[in-house]
Amino acid sequence: MRVPSDSAADTSHLTQSPAAPMRRWLSFAAVPAYGAAVESACLSLGAIAVALFLFGIFVALGGHNPIEVYKALYLGGFGTRFSIEGALTQASPIILTALCTAIPARVGLLVIGAEGALVLGGLAAVLCATAVSTAPAAIGTLVALLGAVCVGALWIATVGALKHFRGVNETISSLLLNYIAIALFNHLISGPIRDFSQTLKATSWPVPPAFRIGSILGWSVHWGLVIGVALCIVLFIVLRYTTLGFSMDILGGNRRAAQVAGLPIGRLLILACAIGGGAAGLAGGIEVLAVHGAASESLIVGFGYTGILVAFLARQNPLAVIPVALLVGGISASGGLLQRRFEMPDATTQVLQGLIFLCVLASNAFAGRIASFTRPT
Protein backbone atom coordinates (compact mmCIF):
# COMPACT_ATOMS: atom_id res chain seq x y z
CA MET A 1 0.00 0.00 0.00
CA ARG A 2 2.72 2.46 0.93
CA VAL A 3 4.19 4.68 -1.71
CA PRO A 4 7.58 6.20 -0.96
CA SER A 5 7.43 9.96 -0.68
CA ASP A 6 9.34 11.69 -3.43
CA SER A 7 9.64 15.12 -1.87
CA ALA A 8 12.63 14.40 0.39
CA ALA A 9 15.17 13.40 -2.22
CA ASP A 10 14.44 15.98 -4.87
CA THR A 11 16.46 19.10 -4.14
CA SER A 12 17.18 20.13 -7.72
CA HIS A 13 14.77 23.04 -7.51
CA LEU A 14 16.99 24.63 -4.85
CA THR A 15 20.00 24.91 -7.13
CA GLN A 16 20.58 27.96 -9.28
CA SER A 17 19.22 27.76 -12.78
CA PRO A 18 21.82 28.63 -15.43
CA ALA A 19 19.25 30.47 -17.53
CA ALA A 20 18.59 33.12 -14.89
CA PRO A 21 20.25 36.11 -16.63
CA MET A 22 18.23 35.44 -19.77
CA ARG A 23 15.01 35.71 -17.86
CA ARG A 24 15.75 39.26 -16.84
CA TRP A 25 14.64 40.26 -20.32
CA LEU A 26 11.13 39.31 -19.37
CA SER A 27 11.28 40.97 -15.98
CA PHE A 28 8.32 42.88 -14.60
CA ALA A 29 10.30 43.45 -11.42
CA ALA A 30 11.10 47.09 -12.13
CA VAL A 31 7.43 47.85 -11.45
CA PRO A 32 6.43 45.07 -9.07
CA ALA A 33 2.81 46.18 -8.59
CA TYR A 34 2.21 46.27 -12.33
CA GLY A 35 4.00 42.95 -12.66
CA ALA A 36 1.43 41.32 -10.41
CA ALA A 37 -1.41 43.01 -12.28
CA VAL A 38 -0.01 41.92 -15.66
CA GLU A 39 0.39 38.41 -14.34
CA SER A 40 -3.22 38.22 -13.11
CA ALA A 41 -4.46 39.64 -16.39
CA CYS A 42 -2.40 37.07 -18.34
CA LEU A 43 -3.70 34.23 -16.19
CA SER A 44 -7.32 35.33 -16.56
CA LEU A 45 -7.00 35.82 -20.31
CA GLY A 46 -5.25 32.47 -20.64
CA ALA A 47 -8.01 30.82 -18.65
CA ILE A 48 -10.67 32.39 -20.87
CA ALA A 49 -8.81 31.17 -23.96
CA VAL A 50 -8.62 27.63 -22.61
CA ALA A 51 -12.32 27.75 -21.64
CA LEU A 52 -13.27 28.97 -25.12
CA PHE A 53 -11.23 26.15 -26.64
CA LEU A 54 -12.93 23.54 -24.45
CA PHE A 55 -16.29 25.11 -25.26
CA GLY A 56 -15.44 24.77 -28.96
CA ILE A 57 -14.83 21.06 -28.48
CA PHE A 58 -18.07 20.82 -26.52
CA VAL A 59 -20.21 22.39 -29.23
CA ALA A 60 -18.37 20.42 -31.92
CA LEU A 61 -19.39 17.23 -30.11
CA GLY A 62 -22.95 18.52 -30.34
CA GLY A 63 -22.58 18.72 -34.12
CA HIS A 64 -22.08 22.47 -34.47
CA ASN A 65 -19.26 24.27 -36.22
CA PRO A 66 -17.23 25.87 -33.39
CA ILE A 67 -15.98 28.74 -35.58
CA GLU A 68 -19.55 29.69 -36.44
CA VAL A 69 -20.49 29.50 -32.75
CA TYR A 70 -17.57 31.78 -31.79
CA LYS A 71 -18.70 34.23 -34.46
CA ALA A 72 -22.23 34.17 -33.10
CA LEU A 73 -20.92 34.68 -29.56
CA TYR A 74 -19.05 37.75 -30.74
CA LEU A 75 -21.93 39.09 -32.81
CA GLY A 76 -24.52 38.45 -30.12
CA GLY A 77 -22.47 39.98 -27.34
CA PHE A 78 -20.27 42.66 -28.85
CA GLY A 79 -20.69 42.82 -32.62
CA THR A 80 -23.50 45.30 -33.14
CA ARG A 81 -24.79 48.33 -31.30
CA PHE A 82 -27.88 46.37 -30.31
CA SER A 83 -25.84 43.53 -28.84
CA ILE A 84 -23.50 45.92 -27.02
CA GLU A 85 -26.54 47.51 -25.43
CA GLY A 86 -27.71 44.06 -24.40
CA ALA A 87 -24.31 43.25 -22.92
CA LEU A 88 -24.21 46.55 -21.02
CA THR A 89 -27.71 46.01 -19.60
CA GLN A 90 -26.72 42.52 -18.48
CA ALA A 91 -23.45 43.79 -17.03
CA SER A 92 -25.06 46.50 -14.93
CA PRO A 93 -26.34 44.29 -12.08
CA ILE A 94 -23.42 41.87 -12.40
CA ILE A 95 -20.88 44.65 -11.73
CA LEU A 96 -22.60 45.35 -8.43
CA THR A 97 -23.18 41.75 -7.33
CA ALA A 98 -19.53 40.98 -8.10
CA LEU A 99 -18.54 43.59 -5.53
CA CYS A 100 -20.48 41.59 -2.94
CA THR A 101 -17.90 38.83 -3.33
CA ALA A 102 -14.89 40.99 -4.23
CA ILE A 103 -14.91 43.42 -1.29
CA PRO A 104 -15.31 40.82 1.51
CA ALA A 105 -12.61 38.81 -0.27
CA ARG A 106 -10.18 41.64 0.52
CA VAL A 107 -10.52 40.83 4.22
CA GLY A 108 -10.33 37.11 3.53
CA LEU A 109 -14.02 36.21 3.49
CA LEU A 110 -15.68 34.16 0.75
CA VAL A 111 -19.21 35.57 0.68
CA ILE A 112 -21.74 34.18 -1.79
CA GLY A 113 -24.81 36.02 -0.55
CA ALA A 114 -25.27 38.51 -3.38
CA GLU A 115 -28.44 36.82 -4.64
CA GLY A 116 -30.21 37.30 -1.31
CA ALA A 117 -29.01 40.87 -0.86
CA LEU A 118 -30.15 41.65 -4.41
CA VAL A 119 -33.72 40.43 -3.99
CA LEU A 120 -34.08 42.15 -0.62
CA GLY A 121 -32.66 45.33 -2.15
CA GLY A 122 -35.34 45.15 -4.82
CA LEU A 123 -37.96 44.65 -2.15
CA ALA A 124 -36.65 47.58 -0.10
CA ALA A 125 -36.71 49.81 -3.18
CA VAL A 126 -40.39 49.02 -3.73
CA LEU A 127 -41.29 49.60 -0.08
CA CYS A 128 -39.32 52.85 0.22
CA ALA A 129 -40.69 54.17 -3.07
CA THR A 130 -44.23 53.40 -1.92
CA ALA A 131 -43.63 55.09 1.43
CA VAL A 132 -42.56 58.37 -0.20
CA SER A 133 -44.77 58.08 -3.29
CA THR A 134 -45.75 61.76 -3.18
CA ALA A 135 -42.17 63.06 -3.03
CA PRO A 136 -40.47 64.76 -5.99
CA ALA A 137 -39.06 62.32 -8.54
CA ALA A 138 -35.35 62.72 -7.78
CA ILE A 139 -35.86 62.40 -4.03
CA GLY A 140 -38.09 59.36 -4.46
CA THR A 141 -35.48 57.59 -6.60
CA LEU A 142 -32.76 58.48 -4.11
CA VAL A 143 -34.77 57.24 -1.12
CA ALA A 144 -35.61 53.98 -2.90
CA LEU A 145 -31.98 53.35 -3.83
CA LEU A 146 -30.78 54.28 -0.34
CA GLY A 147 -33.28 51.84 1.14
CA ALA A 148 -31.99 49.12 -1.18
CA VAL A 149 -28.37 49.84 -0.20
CA CYS A 150 -29.14 49.85 3.53
CA VAL A 151 -31.08 46.58 3.49
CA GLY A 152 -28.43 44.84 1.39
CA ALA A 153 -25.66 46.18 3.61
CA LEU A 154 -27.40 45.07 6.79
CA TRP A 155 -28.13 41.63 5.34
CA ILE A 156 -24.51 40.87 4.44
CA ALA A 157 -23.12 42.74 7.46
CA THR A 158 -24.94 40.07 9.48
CA VAL A 159 -22.70 37.52 7.77
CA GLY A 160 -19.60 39.46 8.85
CA ALA A 161 -20.91 39.93 12.38
CA LEU A 162 -21.74 36.23 12.73
CA LYS A 163 -18.24 35.43 11.53
CA HIS A 164 -16.60 37.79 13.97
CA PHE A 165 -18.66 37.21 17.09
CA ARG A 166 -19.66 33.57 16.71
CA GLY A 167 -17.13 32.17 14.27
CA VAL A 168 -19.88 31.11 11.86
CA ASN A 169 -18.44 30.23 8.45
CA GLU A 170 -19.29 33.11 6.14
CA THR A 171 -19.74 31.06 2.97
CA ILE A 172 -22.36 28.82 4.52
CA SER A 173 -24.22 31.53 6.41
CA SER A 174 -24.43 33.70 3.29
CA LEU A 175 -25.65 30.72 1.26
CA LEU A 176 -28.39 30.01 3.81
CA LEU A 177 -29.32 33.69 3.96
CA ASN A 178 -29.88 33.59 0.17
CA TYR A 179 -32.63 31.04 0.62
CA ILE A 180 -34.14 32.86 3.58
CA ALA A 181 -34.14 36.12 1.61
CA ILE A 182 -35.81 34.50 -1.39
CA ALA A 183 -38.46 32.90 0.84
CA LEU A 184 -39.14 36.27 2.48
CA PHE A 185 -39.31 37.88 -0.94
CA ASN A 186 -41.75 35.29 -2.29
CA HIS A 187 -43.87 35.57 0.83
CA LEU A 188 -44.20 39.35 0.55
CA ILE A 189 -44.82 39.56 -3.20
CA SER A 190 -47.38 36.75 -3.17
CA GLY A 191 -49.43 38.24 -0.32
CA PRO A 192 -48.82 41.34 1.78
CA ILE A 193 -47.53 43.64 -0.96
CA ARG A 194 -48.93 41.87 -4.00
CA ASP A 195 -50.38 43.83 -6.87
CA PHE A 196 -53.50 41.77 -7.52
CA SER A 197 -54.13 43.36 -10.89
CA GLN A 198 -51.13 41.36 -12.18
CA THR A 199 -52.54 37.88 -12.56
CA LEU A 200 -49.83 36.26 -14.67
CA LYS A 201 -47.26 35.99 -11.90
CA ALA A 202 -46.83 37.25 -8.37
CA THR A 203 -45.71 40.87 -8.63
CA SER A 204 -45.36 43.51 -5.95
CA TRP A 205 -46.94 46.94 -6.01
CA PRO A 206 -45.41 48.96 -8.86
CA VAL A 207 -43.03 51.79 -8.02
CA PRO A 208 -44.40 55.26 -8.91
CA PRO A 209 -43.51 55.82 -12.60
CA ALA A 210 -41.85 59.14 -11.78
CA PHE A 211 -39.21 57.35 -9.72
CA ARG A 212 -38.16 55.03 -12.55
CA ILE A 213 -34.54 55.30 -13.72
CA GLY A 214 -34.32 56.20 -17.39
CA SER A 215 -31.89 55.44 -20.18
CA ILE A 216 -28.60 57.13 -20.92
CA LEU A 217 -29.23 59.70 -23.69
CA GLY A 218 -29.38 58.04 -27.09
CA TRP A 219 -28.76 54.53 -25.73
CA SER A 220 -31.13 51.88 -24.53
CA VAL A 221 -28.93 51.34 -21.48
CA HIS A 222 -30.10 52.62 -18.11
CA TRP A 223 -28.15 54.90 -15.78
CA GLY A 224 -27.62 52.05 -13.33
CA LEU A 225 -24.58 51.04 -15.36
CA VAL A 226 -22.97 54.42 -14.68
CA ILE A 227 -23.68 54.07 -10.95
CA GLY A 228 -22.05 50.63 -10.92
CA VAL A 229 -18.97 51.75 -12.83
CA ALA A 230 -18.58 54.81 -10.60
CA LEU A 231 -18.87 52.68 -7.47
CA CYS A 232 -16.18 50.30 -8.76
CA ILE A 233 -13.80 53.19 -9.42
CA VAL A 234 -14.45 54.75 -6.01
CA LEU A 235 -13.95 51.44 -4.23
CA PHE A 236 -10.77 50.79 -6.20
CA ILE A 237 -9.34 54.13 -5.09
CA VAL A 238 -10.42 53.61 -1.49
CA LEU A 239 -8.95 50.12 -1.31
CA ARG A 240 -5.75 51.10 -3.03
CA TYR A 241 -4.88 54.50 -1.63
CA THR A 242 -6.39 54.81 1.84
CA THR A 243 -5.44 53.46 5.25
CA LEU A 244 -8.76 51.67 5.34
CA GLY A 245 -7.95 49.75 2.18
CA PHE A 246 -4.46 48.98 3.44
CA SER A 247 -5.86 47.71 6.74
CA MET A 248 -8.29 45.47 4.85
CA ASP A 249 -5.45 44.06 2.75
CA ILE A 250 -3.41 43.32 5.87
CA LEU A 251 -6.38 41.57 7.47
CA GLY A 252 -7.03 39.59 4.29
CA GLY A 253 -3.37 38.65 3.91
CA ASN A 254 -2.65 37.69 7.49
CA ARG A 255 -5.15 37.85 10.29
CA ARG A 256 -2.48 37.41 12.95
CA ALA A 257 -0.48 40.35 11.60
CA ALA A 258 -3.61 42.48 11.66
CA GLN A 259 -4.17 41.50 15.28
CA VAL A 260 -0.60 42.35 16.23
CA ALA A 261 -0.88 45.69 14.44
CA GLY A 262 -3.93 46.43 16.57
CA LEU A 263 -6.37 46.78 13.68
CA PRO A 264 -10.09 46.77 14.55
CA ILE A 265 -10.67 43.35 13.01
CA GLY A 266 -14.38 43.05 13.76
CA ARG A 267 -15.16 46.48 12.39
CA LEU A 268 -13.16 45.83 9.20
CA LEU A 269 -14.85 42.47 8.61
CA ILE A 270 -18.33 43.87 9.10
CA LEU A 271 -17.59 47.00 7.07
CA ALA A 272 -16.27 44.98 4.12
CA CYS A 273 -19.37 42.81 4.21
CA ALA A 274 -21.63 45.84 4.51
CA ILE A 275 -20.03 47.50 1.48
CA GLY A 276 -20.43 44.34 -0.58
CA GLY A 277 -24.00 43.79 0.59
CA GLY A 278 -24.85 47.42 -0.08
CA ALA A 279 -23.61 47.04 -3.65
CA ALA A 280 -25.71 43.91 -4.19
CA GLY A 281 -28.75 45.57 -2.63
CA LEU A 282 -28.21 48.53 -4.93
CA ALA A 283 -28.21 46.12 -7.87
CA GLY A 284 -31.65 44.91 -6.82
CA GLY A 285 -32.92 48.46 -6.36
CA ILE A 286 -31.67 49.51 -9.78
CA GLU A 287 -33.14 46.45 -11.48
CA VAL A 288 -36.52 47.30 -9.97
CA LEU A 289 -36.39 51.02 -10.73
CA ALA A 290 -34.81 50.78 -14.19
CA VAL A 291 -35.93 47.47 -15.68
CA HIS A 292 -38.96 45.85 -14.05
CA GLY A 293 -40.82 48.66 -12.30
CA ALA A 294 -41.87 46.24 -9.56
CA ALA A 295 -40.43 43.35 -7.58
CA SER A 296 -41.20 39.96 -9.10
CA GLU A 297 -39.61 36.60 -9.77
CA SER A 298 -37.75 38.20 -12.69
CA LEU A 299 -35.27 39.49 -10.11
CA ILE A 300 -34.20 35.95 -9.18
CA VAL A 301 -32.28 35.00 -12.31
CA GLY A 302 -28.88 34.24 -10.81
CA PHE A 303 -27.19 37.64 -11.06
CA GLY A 304 -25.79 36.93 -7.60
CA TYR A 305 -24.15 33.70 -8.69
CA THR A 306 -22.81 35.20 -11.93
CA GLY A 307 -21.33 37.94 -9.74
CA ILE A 308 -19.23 35.36 -7.90
CA LEU A 309 -17.78 34.23 -11.24
CA VAL A 310 -17.03 37.83 -12.21
CA ALA A 311 -15.34 38.55 -8.86
CA PHE A 312 -13.04 35.56 -9.22
CA LEU A 313 -12.28 36.30 -12.86
CA ALA A 314 -11.42 39.88 -11.82
CA ARG A 315 -9.30 38.46 -9.00
CA GLN A 316 -11.30 40.46 -6.47
CA ASN A 317 -10.15 43.78 -7.95
CA PRO A 318 -13.03 46.31 -8.20
CA LEU A 319 -11.52 48.00 -11.25
CA ALA A 320 -11.11 44.72 -13.12
CA VAL A 321 -14.71 43.88 -12.28
CA ILE A 322 -15.88 46.40 -14.93
CA PRO A 323 -14.38 44.80 -18.07
CA VAL A 324 -14.98 41.28 -16.78
CA ALA A 325 -18.65 42.04 -16.12
CA LEU A 326 -18.93 43.44 -19.65
CA LEU A 327 -17.39 40.25 -21.02
CA VAL A 328 -19.66 37.97 -18.99
CA GLY A 329 -22.65 40.20 -19.72
CA GLY A 330 -21.84 39.89 -23.43
CA ILE A 331 -21.70 36.12 -23.17
CA SER A 332 -25.10 36.09 -21.44
CA ALA A 333 -26.52 38.49 -24.00
CA SER A 334 -25.39 36.32 -26.91
CA GLY A 335 -27.48 33.41 -25.60
CA GLY A 336 -30.49 34.57 -27.60
CA LEU A 337 -28.60 34.59 -30.88
CA LEU A 338 -27.10 31.13 -30.24
CA GLN A 339 -30.58 29.89 -29.53
CA ARG A 340 -32.06 31.36 -32.70
CA ARG A 341 -29.25 30.56 -35.11
CA PHE A 342 -28.18 27.09 -33.95
CA GLU A 343 -31.26 26.01 -32.01
CA MET A 344 -28.97 25.50 -29.03
CA PRO A 345 -30.54 25.41 -25.54
CA ASP A 346 -30.51 28.68 -23.61
CA ALA A 347 -28.20 27.05 -21.06
CA THR A 348 -25.35 27.11 -23.62
CA THR A 349 -23.91 30.34 -22.29
CA GLN A 350 -24.21 28.92 -18.77
CA VAL A 351 -21.97 26.02 -19.80
CA LEU A 352 -19.42 28.48 -21.17
CA GLN A 353 -19.54 30.54 -17.98
CA GLY A 354 -19.06 27.43 -15.88
CA LEU A 355 -16.09 26.39 -18.00
CA ILE A 356 -14.54 29.85 -17.67
CA PHE A 357 -15.02 29.73 -13.89
CA LEU A 358 -13.36 26.31 -13.59
CA CYS A 359 -10.45 27.34 -15.83
CA VAL A 360 -9.89 30.57 -13.90
CA LEU A 361 -9.72 28.69 -10.61
CA ALA A 362 -7.37 26.11 -12.10
CA SER A 363 -5.17 28.93 -13.40
CA ASN A 364 -4.56 30.00 -9.79
CA ALA A 365 -2.19 27.06 -9.63
CA PHE A 366 0.12 29.01 -11.91
CA ALA A 367 -0.07 32.24 -9.93
CA GLY A 368 3.39 33.37 -8.89
CA ARG A 369 5.03 31.00 -11.36
CA ILE A 370 5.39 33.67 -14.03
CA ALA A 371 6.77 36.14 -11.52
CA SER A 372 9.25 33.61 -10.17
CA PHE A 373 10.36 32.92 -13.74
CA THR A 374 11.12 36.57 -14.28
CA ARG A 375 12.38 37.57 -10.87
CA PRO A 376 15.97 38.90 -11.05
CA THR A 377 18.40 36.74 -9.11
Report the interface residues with another protein, using CB under 8 A. Answer: 1-5, 110, 112, 162, 164-169, 171-173, 175-177, 179-180, 183-184, 186-187, 190-191, 305, 308-309, 312, 344-355, 357-358, 360-362, 364-365, 367-368
- Between 114 and 144, CB nearer to another protein: 114
**Min dist. Cβ of residue 58 to another protein (A):** 9
Percent of the chain that is helix, strand, coil (3-state, to 5): 75, 0, 25
3 state SS for 24-74: HHHCCCCCHHHHHHHHHHHHHHHHHHHHHHHHHHHHHHCCCCHHHHHHHHH
Residue 248: CB atoms within 10 A of its CB come to 26
- Between 226 and 367, CB nearer to another protein: 367
- Between 211 and 312, CB nearer to another protein: 312
- Nearest Cα neighbor of 303 from 280, 326, 274 is 280
**Min dist. Cβ of residue 315 to another protein (A):** 12
Sort 134 into a burial class: Cβ within 10 Å, 0-12 / 13-18 / 19+.
exposed
- Between 236 and 305, CB nearer to another protein: 305
- Nearest Cα neighbor of 207 from 132, 130, 265, 319 is 130
Q: How far apart are CA 302 and CA 287, in angstroms?
A: 13
**Min dist. Cβ of residue 259 to another protein (A):** 12
3 state SS for 319-355: HHHHHHHHHHHHHHHCHHHHHHHHCCCCCHHHHHHHH
- Between 3 and 22, CB nearer to another protein: 3
- Between 127 and 310, CB nearer to another protein: 310
**Min dist. Cβ of residue 67 to another protein (A):** 20
**Min dist. Cβ of residue 164 to another protein (A):** 8
* Beta-carbon contacts of residue 127 (< 8 Å; ≥ 6 apart): 147, 193
- Mutual angle of helices 335-342 and 318-333, in 10-degree steps: 20
**Min dist. Cβ of residue 238 to another protein (A):** 25
**Min dist. Cβ of residue 154 to another protein (A):** 16
- Between 266 and 376, CB nearer to another protein: 266
CA gyration radius, the chain: 23
